[in-house]
Amino acid sequence: MLKKFLVHTRRGIKFIILFMIGIFLIIGLVAFLYKPTYSVFINGEQVGYTENKSELQHRINEYVENGEDNNENIAFVQVPNLPEYKLCLLKKDITPNDEEIFQKVKEQGTPYYRYYAITDNQEEKFYVSKFEEAENVVNTLKEKKSTNINSISIVEKYETEVKDFTATDEIVSKLCIEPPKVEVASKATTKRYTSTGSVNTATTTSRGKVNLGFSLIKPISGTITSRFGASSSIRRSSHTGLDIAAPKGTPVAAAASGTVTFSGYKGSYGYMIVISHGNNVQTYYGHCSKLYVSAGTTVSQGQTIAAVGSTGNSTGPHLHLEVRINGVAYNPQNYVY
């Protein structure tokens, strides 16, 4: 009986050893013939393979952020369909095609240029490439006591084509209306002009960013899919906020402390929350799937207020974030992301 048991035990051990040897041989063969890589898809269509997902995505992100022609006026590049990656095994004799994939991403890209319009009575008159130039025009008109100074504004523009720029000296000479030489001295009202042309009591920096008096934090982490000023077939006008893609149900945090002034469904925004932070500053959180706070509630910075969704005019789960000052929409990327 013992002898039979020992015989069966030896056979079992031999089988296990042979089985393990077979496994290692298969693994070795696979490692010899194949290499781990990523299959790349754009809009559901396979476009190739990459061995270094991080390096390829970093290059794409750099292109989206800055473009490729070193044009300092490019604010961003709108790419409707970013790549998706799936880990797979690829035969070693097949070469990855990172460059071809990158070119397919570029084919979709629409560059948006940032520049500044100088308006008179809300009519665009001249264009400059930098906010500092526009600010210099306004300050010079103030120094010259131009009688139309209160109708002069600066508007930050995002377009797919850039207007022809005009030298600041020429703009001043054409806009300035000098006061009569004989006049009764009066107290002038000083107003500050923001990058969107609205008159505001908040301080404006040399980069056109209005100082809020407090800082904002990211409501969610995710991928930016549509930027401020971008146009799209699903909206009638330029984008007034920032779209950050994230899975449905992702918690949305308050960017700063304040009071909820709206919580409910609002047209194309879907389920939305509006928070008032004081000093006429508001933040909007649109397309939510769930709302966790009601109007009149005081919230603290970082408190969960909603969940990411795709309600309203939306093509997929994401958060629509707006920053408004005196009712005027400003680029959220002046403050977050």
Residue extents of the structural domains in the chain: 34-108, 114-200, 223-334
**Is the pLDDT score of 235 beyond 70?**
no
Cα–Cα distances in angstroms (integers) from residue 289 to residues 172, 208, 292, 312, in the given order: 50, 34, 10, 10
Q: What is the pLDDT of residue 187?
A: 37
Q: What is the pLDDT of residue 3?
A: 59
33 sits in which H/E element: helix 2-33
DSSP state of 333: G
Segment 38-56 shows an average pLDDT of 92
**Is the pLDDT score of 126 beyond 50?**
yes
Segment 265-284 shows an average pLDDT of 92
Cα–Cα distances in angstroms (integers) from residue 222 to residues 213, 251, 303, 320, in the given order: 26, 12, 18, 12
Which range, 4-8, 207-211, 262-266, is most confident?
Answer: 262-266
What are the tens digits of pLDDT across the range 133-181? 988 999 999 898 898 888 888 887 888 887 899 999 999 999 999 876 5
Q: What is the dihedral of CA 311, 314, 316, 321, to 10 degrees?
A: -80
Q: What is the pLDDT of residue 49?
A: 93
Q: Record the tokens describing residue 192, joined without a space.
A: 């500050």
**Is the pLDDT score of 207 beyond 80?**
no
- % pLDDT > 90, the chain: 39
**Is the pLDDT score of 185 beyond 50?**
no
Q: What is the pLDDT of residue 22?
A: 67
| pLDDT, the chain, mean | 82
Segment 203-210 shows an average pLDDT of 47
How many angstroms separate the CA atoms of 113 and 70, rounded? 12
- % pLDDT > 70, the chain: 80
The CATH architecture annotation of domain 223-334 reads Distorted Sandwich (2.70)
